[in-house]
Structure 1
Amino acid sequence: MKELNINDFTYELPAGRIALYPLDQRDQSKLLVYQKGSIAHKQFSSLADFLPHNATLFFNDTKVIPARLHFTKDTGATIEVFLLHPVSPSTLVVEAMQAQEKSVWKCTIGNLKRWAEGTSLQKELGSLAVTASLVNREEGLVEFLWTPGVSFAEIISRSGETPLPPYLKRKPDVSDRDRYQTVYAHYEGAVAAPTAGLHFTNNVLQTLKAKGIETDYLTLHVSAGTFQPVKVQNAVEHPMHTEQVLISRNNLENLLKNRFIIPVGTTSMRTLESIYWFGVKLKKNHEAIFSIQQNDPYQNYTSLPSTEEALQEVIRYMERKQLDILTGETSIYIMPGYTFRICRGLITNFHQPGSTLILLVAAFVGDDWKNIYHEALANDYRFLSYGDSSLLLPGRMEN
Structure 2
Amino acid sequence: MDIKQYDFELPEELIAQVPLEDRTSSRLMVLNREDQTIKHQQFSDIKQFIQPGDCLVLNDTKVLPARLYGAKEDTGGKVEVLLLHQTEEDEWDVLVKPAKKVKEGTRIEFGDGQLVAECTDIQEHGGRRVRFSYEGIFLEVLESLGEMPLPPYIKEQLSDRDRYQTVYAKEEGSAAAPTAGLHFTNELLQELKDEGVELAYLTLHVGLGTFRPVSVDNVEEHDMHAEFYQLSEETAAQLNRVRENGGRIISVGTTSTRTLETVIRDYGTFQEASGWTDIFIYPPQKLKAIDGLITNFHLPKSTLIMLVSAFADRDFILEAYHRAVEERYRFFSFGDAMLIL
TM-score bracket, shorter-length normalisation? over 0.9
1:134 maps to: 119
SS at match of 2:210: helix
Residue type of the partner of 1:130? L
Structure 1 residue 118: deviation in Å? 1.6
What's the TM-score once normalised by structure 2's chain length? 0.92
Aligned partner of 1:10 among 7, 11, 14: 7
Aligned partner of 1:388 among 330, 333, 336: 336
SS at match of 1:274: helix
Deviations 1:11-47 (A, max 9, x none): 1011011001111111000001111311111110111
Q: Tell me the distance in 1 between the aligned counterparts of 2:210 and 2:72.
A: 31
CA contact under 8 A between 1:32 and 1:389: conserved in structure 2? yes
Structure 2 counterparts to residues 50-199 of structure 1, below 5 A: 50-73=49-72, 75-89=75-89, 103-124=90-111, 129-138=114-123, 140-147=128-135, 149-150=136-137, 152-168=138-154, 170=155, 172-175=157-160, 177-199=161-183
Deviations 1:170-216 (A, max 9, x none): 263332x1111101100001101000000001121122112211111
1:226 maps to: 210
Gaps of 5+ in 1: 90-102, 281-309, 319-325, 394-399
Could you say which structure has the larger radius of gyration?
Answer: 1
1:100 maps to: none
1:270 maps to: 258
Structure 2 counterparts to residues 211-360 of structure 1, below 5 A: 211-257=195-241, 258=243, 259-280=247-268, 310-311=269-270, 314=271, 326-360=273-307
Structure 1 residue 362: deviation in Å? 0.7
What's the TM-score once normalised by structure 1's chain length? 0.79
Aligned-residue identity in percent: 44
Q: Tell me the distance in 2 between the aligned counterparts of 1:30 and 1:227.
A: 25
SS at match of 2:153: helix
Q: Tell me the distance in 1 between the aligned counterparts of 2:16 and 2:209.
A: 21
Structure 1 residue 116: deviation in Å? 4.8
CA contact under 8 A between 1:263 and 1:343: conserved in structure 2? yes
Structure 1 residue 239: deviation in Å? 0.4
Q: Tell me the distance in 2 between the aligned counterparts of 1:233 and 1:113.
A: 27
2:42 maps to: 43
CA contact under 8 A between 2:17 and 2:156: conserved in structure 1? no
Between stretches 109-118 and 213-222, larger displacement belongs to: 109-118
CA contact under 8 A between 2:293 and 2:340: conserved in structure 1? yes
Q: Structure 1 residues 12, 118: CA separation in 2 closer, same or farther (over 3 Å shift)?
A: same
2:191 maps to: 207
Q: Tell me the distance in 1 between the aligned counterparts of 2:102 and 2:216.
A: 32
Residue type of the partner of 2:146? G
Gaps of 5+ in 2: none
CA contact under 8 A between 2:72 and 2:107: conserved in structure 1? no
Deviations 1:66-96 (A, max 9, x none): 111111246442111111122223xxxxxxx
Q: Tell me the distance in 2 between the aligned counterparts of 1:253 and 1:68.
A: 37
SS at match of 1:105: strand
Structure 1 residue 136: deviation in Å? 2.1
Q: Tell me the distance in 2 between the aligned counterparts of 1:336 and 1:116.
A: 40
Q: Tell me the distance in 2 between the aligned counterparts of 1:137 and 1:159.
A: 24
1:374 maps to: 322
Q: Structure 1 residues 227, 115: CA separation in 2 closer, same or farther (over 3 Å shift)?
A: closer
